[in-house]
Amino acid sequence: RPPFDVNAIRRDFPILSERVNGRPLVWFDNAATTQKPQAVIDRLAHFYAHENSNIHRAAHELAARATDAYEGARETVRRFIGAASVEEIIFVRGTTEAINLVAKTWGAKNIGAGDEIIVSHLEHHANIVPWQQLAADKGAVIKVIPVDDTGQVKLDEYRKLLGPRTKLVSVTQVSNALGTVVPVHEIVAMAHAAGAKALVDGAQSVSHMRVDVRAIDADFFVFSGHKIFAPTGIGVVYGKREVLEDMPPWQGGGNMISDVTFEKTTYHGPPTRFEAGTGNIADAVGLGAALEYVERIGIENIGLYEHGLLDYATHHMRPIKGVRLIGTAAHKASVLSFVLDGYSTEQVGRAFNEEGIAVRTGHHCAQPILRRFGLETSVRPSFAFYNTCEEIDRMVSVVRRLASRRG
Ligand code: PMP
CATH code of the domain covering residue 359: 3.90.1150.10
Say whether both 94 and 162 belong to one domain: yes
Alpha carbon 397 to chain centroid, angstroms: 30
Contacts of residue 116, Cβ cutoff 8 Å, sequence gap at least 6:
140, 141, 142, 143, 161, 163, 165, 166, 167
Say whether both 149 and 247 belong to one domain: yes
The reply to whether ipTM tops 0.90 is yes
Q: What is the mean pLDDT of residues 96-109?
A: 98
Q: What is the mean pLDDT of residues 326-346?
A: 97
- The pLDDT score that the predictor gives to residue 407 is 55
- The pLDDT score that the predictor gives to residue 319 is 98
Pocket test for ligand 1, best of 91, 93, 95 (most atoms within 8 A of CB): 95
Is 1 within a domain? Answer: no
Is 264 within a domain? Answer: yes
Say whether both 150 and 275 belong to one domain: yes
Average pLDDT for the chain: 97
CA angle 321, 326, 328 (to 5 degrees): 100
Say whether both 156 and 242 belong to one domain: yes
pTM score: 0.98
Say whether both 277 and 402 belong to one domain: no
Domain boundary among 246, 281, 296: 296
Residue with CA closest to ligand 1 atom 4:
203
Point out the ligand 1 atom lying closest to the alpha carbon of residue 93: 16
pLDDT score of 40 more than 70: yes
pLDDT score of 116 more than 80: yes
pLDDT tens, residue by residue, 130-167: 999 999 999 999 999 999 999 999 999 999 999 999 99
Domain boundary among 296, 313, 344: 296
pLDDT score of 1 more than 80: no
Q: What is the band of 175 on the pLDDT scale with cuts at 50, 70, 90?
A: very high
Contact in structure between 379 and 339 (CB atoms under 8 Å)? yes
- The pLDDT score that the predictor gives to residue 227 is 98
- The pLDDT score that the predictor gives to residue 255 is 85
Cis peptide before 271 (omega within 30 of 0): yes
Total domains in the chain come to 2
Q: What percent of the chain has pLDDT over 90?
A: 96
Separation CA 311–CA 80 (nearest Å)? 27
Q: What is the mean pLDDT of residues 237-244?
A: 98
Say whether both 154 and 211 belong to one domain: yes
Query: Is the CB of residue 176 below 6 angstroms from any atom belonging to ligand 1?
Result: yes
127: left (phi over 0), alpha (psi -120 to 50) or beta: alpha
CATH number at residue 220: 3.40.640.10
For the question of residue 389 being annotated catalytic, the response is no
Helix H or strand E encompassing 86: none
Helix H or strand E encompassing 126: none
Say whether both 15 and 117 belong to one domain: no
CA angle 209, 333, 294 (to 5 degrees): 35
Residues in the chain: 407
Query: Is the CB of residue 207 below 6 angstroms from any atom belonging to ligand 1?
Result: no
Is 317 within a domain? Answer: yes
Say whether both 153 and 247 belong to one domain: yes
pLDDT score of 260 more than 80: yes
Contact in structure between 215 and 181 (CB atoms under 8 Å)? no
Separation CA 103–CA 131 (nearest Å)? 7
Separation CA 13–CA 16 (nearest Å)? 6
Say whether both 211 and 330 belong to one domain: no
Give the range of the structural domain holding residue 52, as residue numbers without chain letter.
Answer: 41-296
Is 373 within a domain? Answer: yes
Point out the ligand 1 atom lying closest to the alpha carbon of residue 226: 15
The active-site residue, picked from 39, 365, 375, 403, is: 365
Say whether both 16 and 83 belong to one domain: no
Domain boundary among 296, 317, 347: 296
Nearest Cα residue to 359 out of 32, 124, 123: 32
Pocket test for ligand 1, best of 30, 123, 124 (most atoms within 8 A of CB): 124
Say whether both 208 and 355 belong to one domain: no
Is 275 within a domain? Answer: yes
Contact in structure between 297 and 228 (CB atoms under 8 Å)? no
- How many helices (DSSP H) and strands (DSSP E) are in the chain? 15, 17
Separation CA 310–CA 384 (nearest Å)? 10
Q: What is the mean pLDDT of residues 4-16?
A: 97
Is 36 within a domain? Answer: no
Say whether both 54 and 20 belong to one domain: no
- The pLDDT score that the predictor gives to residue 182 is 98
Cis peptide before 183 (omega within 30 of 0): no
Q: What is the mean pLDDT of residues 203-229?
A: 98
pLDDT tens, residue by residue, 53-73: 999 877 899 999 999 999 999
Is 174 within a domain? Answer: yes
pLDDT score of 50 more than 80: yes
Helix axes 281-297, 38-46, angle to 10 degrees: 150
